[in-house]
Each structure stands twice: as C-alpha cells, then as structure tokens.
Chains A and B, each alone.
Chain A
C-alpha cells in the first residue's frame, strides 16, 4: 500500500531507514559543487565569489535536499506505507535549453523492506509523466555507475538506453553512464541516439 506524494521537509526526519542503507545514492562533493556552480551562474550572475564560500560547504549541509525542494518540488516525491513509513523517494529536476530541455533523475531509492514491488518503476514513471505532460520536456536522463549492472538492467527495462559514457564521473574514479528515455515531444527520438565517443565530466552540459 503506497501513497506517493510530494516530498516535504518533515520527510527528511522520517527517511533514516532508507538513507542508512548502503545503496542509497549520496551525492559526491564534486557533483554538489558543479551543481551550485551552474545554479549560481544562471541565477545570480555576477556574484561569482559566493561560489568560493560555497566551496567550504561539505557534507554537513542540508541545502542539497532543500534546494531541490525549493526549485523543483514536483520532481521530489516520496512513497509512504501505512504508519507513515517511508518506502522510498525520488528526487530530480528539469533543466536545459531548446531540444535539450529535459527531466533529470538525481536519486531514486527504495528501502529493502519494500523492494520487489516495482516501487522504483512507479516513482520513475511519475517523474517521466511530470516531465512529459507538465513541463513538456524532450527526454529524461539519469546517471548510473558503469559497474551497477542490476540498476542498468532495471533502467533498460523501464525504456532507458545508454546515451553516452562519462569518464570518471563518480568521484573521479568510476565511469558513469548517461542513460536516456525519449518523451512524446521528441517525436523522432533524436535525443537518445547514442554518442559514439565517451565524454569527460567537464564536457557535461549539466551535472
């Protein structure tokens, strides 16, 4: 039994059992910084030196979750079981310009207690629906560790294809795979034609 609804701040106090699990994707410092870089350049223009103060921000911060909540609340959903137990959540965003306007899955995670019930699929479908119907995006994308075969298989089952490989994407060590799924607006499915060569993280348009 599952209620899927928008994630709210109070859920941060309930998701310990999900986040203590080893497989929950915690965001690397690099990604976080790249993210802020982009965010401030787009939104704050010249206050570039704010960046340098943000470089001090390490793992002890809440701005990561809350920035997603403040900017893309439609892309942050929680699945709840009876008794307000958090089963899992998905967080993502929508970004890009022109034909690269797309939904992005930043993290999707399900507690072991609630696995094998297709919950991740439901959460993914929700994010895809929002990207497709509300924001009229061209595609949805996500990054996955190249070694995480079970996850890659799962995403393939959900209709994602490997669009390109990002070299040393994870903490400068492991390669990431950029996987994409075209949405209805991309009639010719141009967004998912795989790139021939791998790219480096600094070539990424968005994090």
Chain B
C-alpha cells in the first residue's frame, strides 16, 4: 500500500494527502485551498482536477464539479502523454456517478482501455462501469478480453455470469448458455476449476439447459470435491437426479441427507416428492418467485397406482420411524413432522381418514405441544380436517392436556397452544355463544397473570412465554365487537394491549395490533405513535410499512406522511444506487452465485408495488400541500416535469409484474391485507383467513390503482393549462402545449383513467352526469368515490378547452358539467358531515373520505378556477387582447362566482363541524369511553375482561411477580389510556381543520380577484 501512496495519479503522495485528510474531516474549504495550490503546480493533471471536482460535489456545487470533470475528461482524451491510471479514472468515476452521469465515467474508461489495451486494472475499472450500467453484453465482452489477457479462472466466470444475466434478466436467448457452457468446458479441460462457486455456476448453467446428466457427471467427478460440505453436495445431487426424473436414485441420496440432517424439512419434502414421483416442488423452484410464502405445501395427488403408493409410503414411514428412533434423545421436531406430512399425503390420496390424522396430531402434541411453534407447525395439517373434525381435535386436546403430567412451564406452553389452536382454526370462535367467547377472553387474561411469576427474574428485554395470551385476548375481543357492534369490546382490546406494553414495552405484536385498532377508530396520531415505536428501519420499511402507510395516505397528517414516504424512498433509492457496487463486490470476491442473486433482487425491489405507490404518492402529496396557491402549485408541477414521467410510468407498469413484499403474517386477522377490513362489513363468521389467497385477488386492483394515481400529476397540470387556455381563442399560444394538444392529451388521459375505473369515456361521463340522481351511479361511486370525483373535475377542465365548450359558452348555455361537479362535491361532503358520529367511532372511516375529497378533487377544482380567473384578469401581463365578449357576465363567469360561493359554503360546513368536535368537552368523551367498558350488570356485554384485569392487578403481590413487574402493574392507569383515546382524534381533526381553512383562504382570495374582473 505504501508504494501506491508514493505516487498518486502521477503526483507525489505527500502533496495529495492533505486534501484527502481535509475531505475526511469534512473541511471542504480547506480541501479546496490545498487543491488550488496543487492545481497551480499541476494545472493540467486530470487527477488534481478530479479531486477538485470531488470537493465541489461534496460542497453541493454540482454544476461546477461536472464542468471540471468534463474538462479533465477532455484533457485525458486530448493528451495521450497524460497519465491514465485507475486512481485518476476512479476519482472521476466517483464524481460522475454522484452526478448521475455514469455514461461519462464509462467513456473515460473506454477511452483509456482503448489506449492501453493490456492494462488489466483499467479493464477491471471498465468492467465495473458496465456493472453499474447493467450492460451485461459489454460486461461479457470486457471479461472475455481480460480472460484472454491473463487466462484467470475468475475472469472467465465473470464472463459466464454476464451471459447468465443476459438470459435471466435481459431477454437474452437461451442459446447463449451453450456459449457459456462451451467456455467453461474448454477451460476445465485445460485448467480444471478451483473455486466451489465456479462449480456451482457451471452446474447451474447446465441445469438451466436441463442437462441434468452432464451436471451429475461433473458433480460426481473430480470437481465435485470442491464442495467441502457433504450436505451441500447431497442437496445438489438429489435435486439434479429428481429433475432428471431418476426418482429412485434421488430417494437414496435424500435418505443419506436426512440421516445427516434429520431436521431438514426442505430435504424431507424433496425426499417425499421423489418417493411419490411428484415434480411440483421442482416447478416451484423453476418458477423463481421464492418470496411468496405459502403455508400450504403444493403437491399433486399422486398418480401412482394404489399398490405402488401403499408400498412407497410405508417405506417412507419406516424410514421416518427409524429417524425418530435414532434421534430420540435430541428430540428434534423434524422426523415427527415428517410422519405427519406422510399422513397428510395419504389423507389427500384417501388412504387416511380424519380420525387417524387427529391421532397423529395428538401424538405430536404430546411431545411438542408446549412449544410456541406447535400451532404454526401443525397449521397445514389442520387445514385438511373437516370443520367438525377440527372441533373434535380441539376437544381431544383439552382432554389430553389435563391428563398430561408436565412441569409448570410446559403446562403454560400447552395451555397457550390450546388457545392458539382455537385461534387458527377460526371456526371455534365464530360458533361459540357470546358469553363463552367472553369467558375465553377472561381465561386468557387470567392465565397471563398466572404466568407472570414464572418470569419475575427475566430480563425485561427477553420475551415472556405468556405474552401471546394478550394478543389472543385482543383477537377474541375484536371478534366480539364484530359480532355485537359494542364499541366497548374494542376499547377493552386496546386496554389489554396497552396494559401488556406497560408490563413490557418491547412487544412488537401488541404495537402492531394497536396500530390497527387506533387506525380503525380514527385515532391515527396514536396509531402513528405506536408505529414509530416499532422502530422500522432498513429493509423492514419494505416489509412492515403496510401496517401504517395506507391509512396515512388518506389522512390529513401530511407532515408525518411526508416523513414516512421520504425515509422509505431514501432507503430504496440509496439501495438502488449502491446495488451495482455490491454486485461488483460479489464479482471481486468470486461469489458468482451472489452476483446473479443481487441483480435479480434489485429488479425484484424495483418492481415493488409499494415503491411505486410511494413515488407517486410523494408527488401527489406535494401537489396537495401546495394546492392553495396556483403559482406554487405550478412550481411543484415544474419540478415534477409536469407529471410526464409519472404518466409514462403508468403506461409502463402493465407489462411488468409487480412484486408484493409485505410481510402479511404479522397483520391482525380482521385486516388480512391493507384495503380489506372485515370489521367494516357485517359479521361473516371468519376469524382466520389465509392471507396469501387474498394477495392474488388484490394484485389486479393495486395495479389499477397505481396506474390511475400515476396519471394524476399530469392531469392536474393539463387541467390548469386547459382552464387558462379557455380565454386564449385569439391569442398566440406561448406555452409549450397549445390548446389542441392540451385538449387531445387530456382526452387521451381521461379515456385511460375511465378505463382504469372500468368503463369507456362516454360511459364514465354518463355516470358523472347522472351522479346525483341515479341509484346505480351511487353504487358505482361508492368503491372508488374519490377517483370518480377526480375524474369529474378533470372532465370539467377538459370540457373548458374544447371547441364545443367555447361554442356553447358563446351561445350563452350554462356549463352543465361544471355545475354537476359542484353538486357532486356539495352532496357527498355534506352527506358525510351530517352522518358523522360523535367521538371515537369506527365510522370515522368516513373522515378519511372527507379528507381525501377536500385534499384532492376539491383542491384541483379550485386550481382550475384559479387558473381561469388568472387568465381572465384584465391587468398586467394577462391583459386580454381583442376579445369582444364581456367575461364578467358570461355564463362561465357566473358559474365561477357561484362555484366559489358554493365551495366556501361547503368548507364552512366542514370547518364548523370540525370546530365543534375539537372543542367538545373532553371529560364527556372520556366518560363515554370508560363507561363502555364498565360492567354494571351480570348480563353479557363488554367489560368483563376490563374488570378482571383490574381485579387481578390489585390482587397481585410483589412477592409473586417481583419488583419490576409489580411496579409496572402499579403504574398502569386505564384512565390515561381512555384520555389518550379521547384526545387522540383531535390532533387529526386539527390538522384537517387547518387544511380546510387554508382552502377557504384561497377561495376568499379568489373572490377578491374575481371582483376585479
């Protein structure tokens, strides 16, 4: 390293080092000073220039940095005698990359490599440039050149990976793989292979071409010894044999594997697939979508004859039995679950009935029933039982549990398991009478208290075994709410969880449940507080944000929403930016399989539905935030390139498949995916729903919504233009878009928008026009009401610049569509305001509707009017020329005035209601909440759990549960929680009030302006 420091970019290292040091300590001015003196000595050194550019870039002076870099680049091109070393080029590369000019860095390296064709270091730099640009073909060509130059195995593998990437990620033809295979074969013949990763790539190339026999031959040959871990080798061998259809040989290999790793579930599934000659498991591998977590194992009902099936399964059972015996001491779950899986397959084949299945499950319970994972282990087996048999299984469990002699911890584990089994089976809760359900919840809370003494010495950071009980209690209480519509049950659920967090504040499961409960009750700021405490960061933002983001998008908490979106987008964009460098790191460390994985993973995340939603919604949020001022809105639109990219994005989504990376397992049962909430509808008797099935249903609607929303910025822009174009009949067009263009583009977008709403443009117009009276339209409206209102507003704007409209206007006809839009806004807003329930209430879902209508369609409508009024102002630049019509009495001017009047009235109604809500007496609200859980009689109804909680808290002593838990119990104050709930909403309402008021202000200003027209 020292020698490299001797000369840096042809300059003595001692002269350069002060610059580095200054940059490192972020003293950029100082660095610049050093750099100036260096440049005085070496004015034409590209390296010295590169350093200066780097400093300037870090100081935020991007333009200067870029021009210096380009200057350095030109010097390099002009003067061959200048030093073209990797240090100089990589310095320039860094600056170019940070300035988003990868192509300039690449051309520097291309030029240098052209001048010095035998310089390996430069070629590696060039290869790296192509990795950054994802130019797989050029990567391949460069790697081959390096390979030819020095004959090293790694460069050959770089080329092979580049070929594989062309096939996997860039529509490269499969025959390219033949080329890769040929290259490898030739190299192996001459030099063999030396890296295990190289062998893995070689095998994958063959496997991709279905040359399983060839791959097996290589694996069993000398090269196979590169794989040092026997189990890795066996896994590959088994897979190749199975895919080649040689099931009997594969069975032998998998048996060897299972003897070495008897707990290997995947290995066992592969083994069983081979035993039953079922290749569906390999199809899943080939499908290359391994993220979809399916609890339900895909398998085909065996095509084997009865006799063969019996024989095979009994062999497999015997093998599994042997595994169980051999591992009796270590008590691993694997061989026992394997036994269950064989039973399940036999059940599917009709060879085992429900009772036998139950028997097998009971055996498993007797050994592993105390484990926290018992329920998730057996979930898949419970699915095959008929509903009445599930109930029977539950009864058997209860009986068996009371007869098992176990220690206290195990007993607790088993008791929790009993509740959990009921929870996942679903039908239990929906068939029990209300009183029994209440009783179940009470028993859960009691058991929780009984478990506390077991953990009195536990570190508070460690999870306690009984914690799940409170989540289960919450599930039951929410079920009770759904059935009875008694708000008290929800309040109890919240109390239970808040109580749990007082005992131990780290339980993320409680926090997630609270996020959803508070959101449901409209106390979004409380939901957001708990969400923040989940401390979601890094890649979890991709998988966990769905708990919060969808509600926030419809809320008035714009600052918080902006933070959520900003953090998430920054994380994703940072990753996309650095991802290629990480890929190159994998190349350099010869982990070739990771190269492919990294590129595929980046593509996967780029197609994330949530990422697209966030990008679009971040733009729309800006538009919402600035909608009160036309000039500011125009600046925002300008920064968004008038929405062109988003409109293009909307077009581009279709051919790609979106990815859904949300971790749905952590969602509560009542809202298995965002956009679905059972509690909003009537009781249906569901308490458990396989989430993955819903995702598929949801995908199409998410895609449509993204496509629709992506059109919005462009449509807002065009609507503003359209309104001002109205009065430009005889004016020269000075904007970039002329009237006919606005007209036709807006029409095109309206057609698309209508299509995404499920109808043709003419049908959509009909729906809007009939929006007030027709019953049918109301129903249509209901699902996507806000989208329809947006459509109506844009439709009106479009009509404004149509020739037809101008004609009508001149003829003195009233602009019908405009009035329709007004009526729509008036009708739906005041309907909702009138129907709003006071205080904390689930109907607050309507609040988010109100928020959306006022932040979007109403805001765009005002913008259109502002634009119209501005263009009709007689003063300043906007002075009309030659127009003979008196605009102040034209039908349009009249409708404009009427609209402003009407919108003011609508907003006044909303603000009045909001004001009343916010000022509402807190104590009264508090009392309503507390009384909802106060138990005054013995009849069923909310309050039992809350009551028992109080009783148990007061009867628990420090002796039993230790100081820490005892203090936590003492600090529990349900009144505080109730107060928090009562005031929780007012924050949201205040934010909303602020939005309404600022919309009002802009209308007042308009009124004033219009008086001058």
Contacts from A to B (Cβ < 8 Å): 1-5, 8-10, 12-14, 16-17, 19-23, 26, 41, 43, 45-53, 55, 57, 59-63, 65-67, 69-71, 73, 80-85, 87, 112-117, 130, 133-134, 149-150
Q: Which of A53, A70, A87, A113: most chain B Cβ within 10 A?
A: A70
Known A-B contacts A1-B377, A52-B26; the reply to A61 vs B538 at CB < 8 A is yes
Known A-B contacts A3-B266, A112-B463; the reply to A66 vs B582 at CB < 8 A is yes
B570: which A residues are within 8 A, CB to CB? 60
B26: which A residues are within 8 A, CB to CB? 52, 55
B574 adjacent to A60 (CB under 8 Å)? yes
B593: which A residues are within 8 A, CB to CB? 73
Enumerate 12 A-B pairs (CB-CB under 8 Å) in ascending A order: A1-B268, A2-B332, A10-B601, A16-B540, A17-B663, A21-B506, A46-B1, A50-B94, A52-B26, A60-B567, A61-B538, A85-B293
A45: which B residues are within 8 A, CB to CB? 1, 4
A52 smallest CB distance to B (angstroms): 5
A52: which B residues are within 8 A, CB to CB? 23-24, 26, 58
Q: Compute how far the CA of A55 lies from the CA of B25 in the bound complex, rounded to whole angstroms.
A: 10
Q: Compute how far the CA of A25 lies from the CA of B588 in the bound complex, rounded to whole angstroms.
A: 28
A114 adjacent to B506 (CB under 8 Å)? no
B537 adjacent to A60 (CB under 8 Å)? yes
Known A-B contacts A13-B291, A59-B537, A83-B294; the reply to A73 vs B24 at CB < 8 A is no
A62: which B residues are within 8 A, CB to CB? 538-539, 571, 574-575, 578-579, 582
B5: interface (CB < 8 Å):
yes
B427 smallest CB distance to A (angstroms): 21
B594 adjacent to A1 (CB under 8 Å)? no
B586 adjacent to A51 (CB under 8 Å)? no
* In the complex, the 7 A-B pairs of residues with the closest C-beta atoms, listed nearest first: A9-B601, A22-B506, A70-B586, A112-B463, A16-B663, A1-B265, A83-B295
Closest to A2 in B: B263
**Looking at the complex, which of B368-376, B680-688, B935-943, B951-959 is the stretch in contact with chain A?**
B368-376
A12 smallest CB distance to B (angstroms): 5
A51 adjacent to B24 (CB under 8 Å)? yes
B542 adjacent to A70 (CB under 8 Å)? no
B90 adjacent to A47 (CB under 8 Å)? yes
Apart from A2-B263, A19-B540, A70-B585, list 8 A-B contacts with CB within 8 A.
Answer: A3-B266, A20-B540, A53-B94, A60-B571, A67-B585, A82-B380, A85-B293, A115-B463
Q: Compute how far the CA of A67 lies from the CA of B261 in the bound complex, rounded to whole angstroms.
A: 29
Q: Compute how far the CA of A60 lies from the CA of B582 in the bound complex, rounded to whole angstroms.
A: 15
Q: Compute how far the CA of A61 lies from the CA of B264 in the bound complex, rounded to whole angstroms.
A: 33
B578 adjacent to A61 (CB under 8 Å)? yes
Closest to B602 in A: A9
Closest to B379 in A: A83
Known A-B contacts A3-B267, A45-B1, A73-B594; the reply to A16 vs B666 at CB < 8 A is yes
Q: Compute how far the CA of A91 lies from the CA of B945 in the bound complex, rounded to whole angstroms.
A: 44
B263: which A residues are within 8 A, CB to CB? 1-3
Beta-carbon contacts of B721-733 to A below 8 Å, as 1s and 0s?
A: 0000000000000
B589: interface (CB < 8 Å):
yes
B350: interface (CB < 8 Å):
no
- Size of the chain B interface, CB-CB below 8 angstroms: 83
B23 adjacent to A10 (CB under 8 Å)? no
A83 adjacent to B380 (CB under 8 Å)? yes
B661: which A residues are within 8 A, CB to CB? 13
Contacts from B to A (Cβ < 8 Å): 1, 4-5, 8, 20, 23-24, 26, 54, 58, 87, 90-91, 94, 98, 228-229, 261, 263-268, 290-291, 293-295, 297, 332-334, 337-338, 371-373, 376-377, 379-380, 459, 461-463, 506, 508, 534, 536-540, 542-544, 567, 570-571, 574-575, 578-579, 581-583, 585-586, 588-589, 591, 593-594, 597-598, 600-601, 604, 661, 663, 665-666
Known A-B contacts A1-B337, A22-B461, A73-B594; the reply to A112 vs B372 at CB < 8 A is yes
How many cross-chain pairs have Cβ atoms below 8 Å apart between A and B? 197
Known A-B contacts A16-B666, A17-B666, A83-B294; the reply to A2 vs B380 at CB < 8 A is no
Q: Compute how far the CA of A134 lies from the CA of B87 in the bound complex, rounded to whole angstroms.
A: 35
Closest to A9 in B: B601
B571 adjacent to A65 (CB under 8 Å)? no
A84: which B residues are within 8 A, CB to CB? 290, 293-294
B29 smallest CB distance to A (angstroms): 15
B536: which A residues are within 8 A, CB to CB? 20
B589 adjacent to A12 (CB under 8 Å)? no
B290 adjacent to A10 (CB under 8 Å)? yes
Q: Compute how far the CA of A133 lies from the CA of B230 in the bound complex, rounded to whole angstroms.
A: 12
Q: Which of B98, B372, B579: most chain A Cβ within 10 A?
A: B372
A113 adjacent to B597 (CB under 8 Å)? no
B373 adjacent to A113 (CB under 8 Å)? yes
B665 adjacent to A17 (CB under 8 Å)? yes
Q: Compute how far the CA of A63 lies from the CA of B332 in the bound complex, rounded to whole angstroms.
A: 35
Closest to A118 in B: B330
B544 adjacent to A20 (CB under 8 Å)? yes
A8: which B residues are within 8 A, CB to CB? 290, 597
Partner of B265, one of A2, A9, A16: A2
A63: which B residues are within 8 A, CB to CB? 578, 581-582
Q: Compute how far the CA of A27 lies from the CA of B54 in the bound complex, rounded to whole angstroms.
A: 29
B462: which A residues are within 8 A, CB to CB? 23, 150
B543 adjacent to A13 (CB under 8 Å)? yes
A43: which B residues are within 8 A, CB to CB? 588
A3 adjacent to B265 (CB under 8 Å)? yes
A57: which B residues are within 8 A, CB to CB? 574
B264: which A residues are within 8 A, CB to CB? 2-4
Q: Compute how far the CA of A10 lies from the CA of B8 in the bound complex, rounded to whole angstroms.
A: 41
B574: which A residues are within 8 A, CB to CB? 57, 60-62
Q: Compute how far the CA of A82 lies from the CA of B601 in the bound complex, rounded to whole angstroms.
A: 23
A82 adjacent to B337 (CB under 8 Å)? yes
Q: Compute how far the CA of A53 lies from the CA of B99 in the bound complex, rounded to whole angstroms.
A: 13
B265 adjacent to A82 (CB under 8 Å)? yes
Closest to A71 in B: B589
B373 adjacent to A21 (CB under 8 Å)? no
Known A-B contacts A20-B540, A70-B591, A113-B372; the reply to A49 vs B23 at CB < 8 A is yes
B542: which A residues are within 8 A, CB to CB? 13
A71 smallest CB distance to B (angstroms): 5
Known A-B contacts A8-B597, A70-B589; the reply to A13 vs B371 at CB < 8 A is no
Closest to A13 in B: B661
A71: which B residues are within 8 A, CB to CB? 585-586, 589, 591
Q: Compute how far the CA of A50 lies from the CA of B20 in the bound complex, rounded to whole angstroms.
A: 10
B87: which A residues are within 8 A, CB to CB? 46-47
Q: Compute how far the CA of A69 lies from the CA of B376 in the bound complex, rounded to whole angstroms.
A: 29
